[in-house]
Structure 1
Amino acid sequence: MLEQSRGALIYALMFRENVLLYPINPKQLASYRESYPGGGKSNPTDAMYLARMLCERITTLKAWRPDDEDTRLIANLSQQRRKIVDGQTKLRQQLMAVLKSYFPVVLELFGKQHQLPLLLSVLSRWPDPRELRRADRRLIRRVLCDHGVRNEQQQKEIIERIRAAHLLTRDHALITPSAMAAKLLASQIKEAKKAIEEFDAAIDKAMNQHPDAHLFTNLRGAGYVLAPRLLCAFGSQRDRWEDADQLASFSGIAPVTKQSGKQRHVHRRFACPKYLRQTFHEFAECARRYCPWSKARYDMLRDRGMK
């Protein structure tokens, strides 16, 4: 019995012969520890409590078994991809904040979602607003053409707005470090985008080799991102779930009901794998756009006042 479901200890022991692993939530051990007097905490006493818990509850616990290698490969690729996507989002937010402080004109011209590649190219060449105002018109036109802005009149208007734009500040002490930070963030966002594309290719290759991939790729609303995540959510050891309710409770999509006397309170489940819960939430949102019965169910619950 151990207080983790992943990590170095799990990875070292999961394929050892005659070793059964029983991962538990650390809160379970904390509650069990409080049932004994003293209140002290140390590694030796925690090891003793874990051994006692296992002896007392062995009949109600299920030993953890790892999924097969193909499923674990897709799971790890998908989780790492999600971390990179979240990191890229943070980088973009940081970039927007920096640009607002010293270079707002580029946000006015290239700040929309679909213009991000163009914005990054401009910042890679001219992170300093003073340099952009002095830049050669032909070079600016070339950058615009490379990103699909080929209309000459539109190019002319953009260049004129760049030339006519007033500097938010002329403070060299602010512009220089901000320009350096913006250029760095732009390069990091580009590298994150390349990494996401590499992970997408690796996930696609692994899905093509997985025998159960067709069960999830054919689900309405499950595209190239969500289908692998759903496959890993169910895993290859599907007998670990006795029914759908058990999976719903474990993943956190089933609410928790607390009742005492006449008081009854229903709230969302907090103690759950957040990434797994997010997978089902995102799939539900996508499914209602492409699946008629899913949308009908969603509309019915909304009409009842659910949020």
Structure 2
Amino acid sequence: MLFVGDDWAEDHHDVEVQDEAGRRLGRARLEEGIAGIARLHGLIGEHLGEDDEPTQVVIGIETDRGPWVQALIAAGYQIYAINPLQAARYRDRHGVSGAKSDAGDAHALADMVRTDRHQLRPVAGDTATADAVKVVTRAHQTLIWERTRHTLRLRQTLREFFPAALAAFDDLAAADTLDLLGKAPHPATAARLTTAQITAALKRARRRDVPAKAEKLQAVLRAKQLGQPPVVTAAYAATVRAQVAILTTLQTQIKAMEEQVEAHFGQHPDAEIYLSQPGLGRILGARVLAEFGDDPTRYADAKARRNYAGTSPITRQSGKKKIVLARYVHNDRLIDALGRQAFAALIASAGARAYYDQQRHRGISHHAALRQLGNRLVGILHGCLKTGTLYDETTAWQHREQHDQKTAA
């Protein structure tokens, strides 16, 4: 067996090769790209016998994606994606001076896969379709987060020089709001907007009760308000134009990426199973699939999937003291999607609603009850994926109902 530690940077990799006894066989700094990966194969080949297999090479690296990792997987090596926090804690085991170097990190990673790989998670063997879903869903969600950030910046800007706009527009990211603010980002120009201009913007946004809303908007925008000096107001107006342009582009790209998410998700063989789950539509279903992956061997059981999801609690025990806490280290994208699913399932599933109500009657808070419901839904999803069956309301909650009946008896 050969053990390789790969400390990667943007343009290079520091690697170290060890044997089973921990003896250093080689060390190098490799450039990113084809030339670098060829040198790595050569370095490994110097220490492999003619009859040895690529699976006898174990590599530890602090990432699970990118062309370099794909090249390592294609070569047949065993790849372990190590959390940087784990690597930092491991490094502290061997020294308390705080010294750090790229070569030292490569040495620590090689040591980790040599001595502790039974505690580490190998890179999942997800299909290319699942990887594609992951790319587009993450891009789509990132664009939504960016829209939220820029909307808050626009709100702060308007609050400082044009408060009437905040009173007039409930949703600053709405199409009619961006249309009108783009035309009139200045209090004076907004006051001069005609009823026809406002009506046209509302109609393009497909609003209802257009005449009444147009009249109300015009009245609010023409009302007297506190203001800034003219030169400062002009500067703020230029800022609003820039924010409106960014938000308009984000809205267009979010819609385009949403179509990509639905298209890629629809091509996955497990899409129907995900869509059958209560509270999951095409977007949320795609996000959950993307973050869980589709490697059938990745999760040994439902508990392993719950632990990865971050919905299952953790226990801290010392002596006579024992407390149960929520997991604070988790995949933010996955936990967000599962939380939204749990909330939507309150309407979509009678069993989910009954389970949530039961937790609330026990005195548990709304968010804690949703988290427990999400934990239950993850277990149901795992069972459906394992057996290749669609969600069934009766089957999913039958065990729970029987347990409640026994408890009541």
Under a length normalisation based on structure 1, what TM-score does the superposition of the two structures give? Answer: 0.90
Is 2:298 the partner of 1:240? Answer: yes
Q: Tell me how far apart the structure 1 counterparts of residues 354 and 154 of structure 2 sit (CA, whole Å).
A: 40
The question of whether the paired residues in 1 share the 8 Å contact of 2:291 and 2:333 is answered with no
More strand by percentage? 2
* Partner SS state of residue 327, structure 2: coil
* Partner SS state of residue 201, structure 2: helix
* Partner SS state of residue 264, structure 1: strand
Letter in 2 for 1:121: D
More helix by percentage? 1
* Partner SS state of residue 21, structure 1: strand
Q: Tell me how far apart the structure 2 counterparts of residues 96 and 242 of structure 1 sit (CA, whole Å).
A: 47
Pick aligned residue for 1:146 from 182, 185, 204: 204
Q: Tell me how far apart the structure 2 counterparts of residues 198 and 19 of structure 1 sit (CA, whole Å).
A: 38
Counterparts in 2 of 1:8 and 1:181: CA distance versus 1, 3 Å: farther
**Match of 1:301?**
359
The question of whether the paired residues in 1 share the 8 Å contact of 2:287 and 2:337 is answered with yes
Matches of residues 226-237 of structure 1 in structure 2 within 5 Å? 226-237=284-295
Letter in 2 for 1:289: I
Counterparts in 2 of 1:61 and 1:98: CA distance versus 1, 3 Å: closer
**Match of 1:75?**
134
Letter in 2 for 1:50: L
**Match of 1:268?**
326
Write out per-residue CA displacement over residues 210-250 of structure 1, whole angstroms, 9 at most, x where no aligned residue: 21110111212101211111222332212111111111112
The question of whether the paired residues in 2 share the 8 Å contact of 1:14 and 1:65 is answered with no
Q: Tell me how far apart the structure 1 counterparts of residues 326 and 129 of structure 2 sit (CA, whole Å).
A: 32
For residue 14 of structure 1, report the CA deviation from its aligned partner: 3.4
Counterparts in 2 of 1:49 and 1:112: CA distance versus 1, 3 Å: closer
* Partner SS state of residue 14, structure 1: helix
Q: Tell me how far apart the structure 1 counterparts of residues 211 and 329 of structure 2 sit (CA, whole Å).
A: 57
Which stretch has the larger CA shift, 128-137 or 66-75? Answer: 128-137
Q: Tell me how far apart the structure 2 counterparts of residues 274 and 192 of structure 1 sit (CA, whole Å).
A: 22
Letter in 1 for 2:72: L
Letter in 2 for 1:192: L
* Partner SS state of residue 184, structure 1: helix
For residue 152 of structure 1, report the CA deviation from its aligned partner: 4.0
The question of whether the paired residues in 2 share the 8 Å contact of 1:220 and 1:290 is answered with yes
Matches of residues 61-210 of structure 1 in structure 2 within 5 Å? 61-112=120-171, 116-147=174-205, 148=207, 151-152=210-211, 154-163=213-222, 165-210=223-268
The question of whether the paired residues in 2 share the 8 Å contact of 1:92 and 1:189 is answered with yes
The question of whether the paired residues in 2 share the 8 Å contact of 1:67 and 1:236 is answered with yes
Which stretch has the larger CA shift, 187-196 or 230-239? Answer: 230-239
**Match of 1:51?**
110
Q: Tell me how far apart the structure 1 counterparts of residues 303 and 148 of structure 2 sit (CA, whole Å).
A: 34
Q: Tell me how far apart the structure 2 counterparts of residues 285 and 160 of structure 1 sit (CA, whole Å).
A: 38
Q: Tell me how far apart the structure 1 counterparts of residues 201 and 89 of structure 2 sit (CA, whole Å).
A: 62
Q: Unmatched 5+ residue regions in structure 1?
A: none
The question of whether the paired residues in 2 share the 8 Å contact of 1:106 and 1:119 is answered with no
Letter in 2 for 1:220: P
* Partner SS state of residue 324, structure 2: strand
Q: Tell me how far apart the structure 1 counterparts of residues 71 and 230 of structure 2 sit (CA, whole Å).
A: 54
**Match of 1:289?**
347
Is 2:72 the partner of 1:13? Answer: yes
Equivalent pairs, count: 304
Q: Unmatched 5+ residue regions in structure 2?
A: 1-59, 366-409
More RCO (CA 8 Å, sep 6+):
1
* Partner SS state of residue 22, structure 1: strand
The question of whether the paired residues in 2 share the 8 Å contact of 1:33 and 1:49 is answered with yes
